[in-house]
Amino acid sequence: MKAIIHYFKTIFAALKTLVKGMAITGHYFIHPKEIITQQYPENRDTLKMFERFRGEVVLLHNENNEHRCTGCSACEIACPNGTIEIITKRVETPEGRKVKQIDRFVYHLSMCTMCNLCILACPTDAIVMSNDFEHAVFDRSQLTKILNKPGSKLMEGVRH
């Protein structure tokens, strides 16, 4: 008797779970608005990437063409692929003190795996991941980028 009750119980439990699954897919079927897929080239103008998407490393500049990079090379050390090269120079300040500044922040996009370690390593939050993902170029030399803009300098008060 117990076995028979168990037998029918399993049948009803199975039907219940099947109906539950069908309710979920049925909901998706009658709500085509919930479709996640985007029609990419068509919606290029309105495309909005997610905040967490890692497109490429950029060095932030403010409106006065100032960045927050002190040239400490923490990102260079953190990078597992040797994607980042920090080339520094010695600059004399008006007070006559010699300080280290970045000359070129070289970023090899072709080697980057978007692992985010450089951003985590940066003590001054100078670099971030941008959402831009259209990196296709006709020559791979174009993938080696210099991130600091020409004539830019360190922001006042940022120190390592």
* 26 touches another protein by CB under 8 A: yes
What residues contact 75, with CB distance under 8 A and at least 6 apart? 84, 86, 118, 119, 121, 122, 127
Is 3 an interacting residue with respect to another protein (CB under 8 A)? no
Q: Examine residue 6 and tell whether it contacts another protein (CB under 8 A).
A: no
Q: Is 46 in the site for another protein (CB under 8 A)?
A: no
Q: How many Å apart are CA 54 and CA 56, to the nearest integer?
A: 6
Q: Which CB sits closer to another protein, 35 or 139?
A: 35
Residue 4 touching another protein (CB under 8 A) = no
Q: What is the Cα–Cα distance from 15 to 55, expressed in whole angstroms? A: 46
- In the list 28, 43, 65, 153, the residue contacting another protein (rule: CB under 8 A) is 28
CA distance 97 to 116: 35
Give the one residue of 1, 3, 5, 36 binding another protein; rule: CB under 8 A.
36
Give contact residues for another protein (rule: CB under 8 A). Answer: 11, 18, 21-22, 24-26, 28-29, 32, 34-37, 39
